[in-house]
Amino acid sequence: MDLLNYLYNAPFSTESLFLGYTNSFFPMWIDDSGVIEWFSPDPRAVFPLDNIKISRSLRRTLRKRSFEFTVDTDFGEVIRCCSERADCWISDEIIDIYTEFHRQGYAHSVETRQNGLLVGGLYGVSIGSAFFGESMFSRVDDASKAAFAMLMAHLNERGFTLLDTQFINPHTESLGAVEIPRREYLRRLHSAVYIPCDFGTGWRDYSHKYL
């Protein structure tokens, strides 16, 4: 049985998530039935970590210092907020399994706060020196983009080598995403997952890098 058949037939779990991510597959459900599909697109969208693209308007926002940033302090709320879009694929089952993945140390969130309140953020998966971005949300202008800017700076600080964003769209492209062939993605992935990086240590506010 090949890997994709295995993923479809195995229980959806943190074990299948780990196996999927380390072999280029990620889960989504795509219709009202809630059936979870596995994808490994060609081409694949990634963010070049050596080419952080921050708009002038976001730099102005960061200069105002109106946001505070935290990491892994409210993972459950971040993923629930990401799931609130009408067309979103993040089901209750997805939330439960990723929350357990977070407890195991693989899934992480970056939170944007304003006056202590959660106003935006993102979450994804960290394995080795690869970070797999999943989703983001905003309740005020620039809140998710600011979280993304902090994520990029943090990954560079910690020595990460791959930031995956799965599919390209106008939003991710505006943030600097590019497409690469699946073969090239697999080469980078299979190198990155064996390079040890600790996502959770050394977190700080990186706003100064964009001023």
User: Is 206:149 a contact under the CB 8 Å cutoff?
Assistant: yes
Distance between CA atoms of residues 196 and 65, nearest Å = 32
Q: Mean pLDDT over residues 51-74, rounded?
A: 87
Q: Mean pLDDT over residues 152-166, rounded?
A: 94
162-166 and 130-138 beta bridge pairing: parallel
pTM for this structure?
0.94
**Count of residues for the chain?**
211
Q: Mean pLDDT over residues 97-104, rounded?
A: 97
pLDDT at 85: 78
Residue ranges of domains in the chain, CATH in brackets: 3-210 (3.40.630.70)
Give the pLDDT band (50/70/90) at residue 196. Answer: very high
Tokens 């020595």, located at residue: 159
- Interhelix angle 143-158/56-63, rounded to 10 degrees, is 90
User: Is 152:52 a contact under the CB 8 Å cutoff?
Assistant: yes
Contacts of 79-88 spanning 24+ positions with Cβ under 8 A: 79/109, 79/123, 79/135, 81/118, 81/121, 81/137, 81/139, 82/122, 82/123, 82/134, 82/135, 82/136, 82/137, 83/135, 84/137, 85/137, 88/135
Rounded (to 5) percent helix, strand, coil in the chain: 35, 25, 40
Residue 2: other Cβ atoms inside 10 A: 6
Mean pLDDT, the chain, whole residue set: 91
Segment 107-153, tens digit of pLDDT: 999 999 999 999 999 999 999 999 999 999 999 999 999 999 999 99
Going by C-alpha positions, the residue among 159, 156, 146 that lies closest to residue 195 is 159
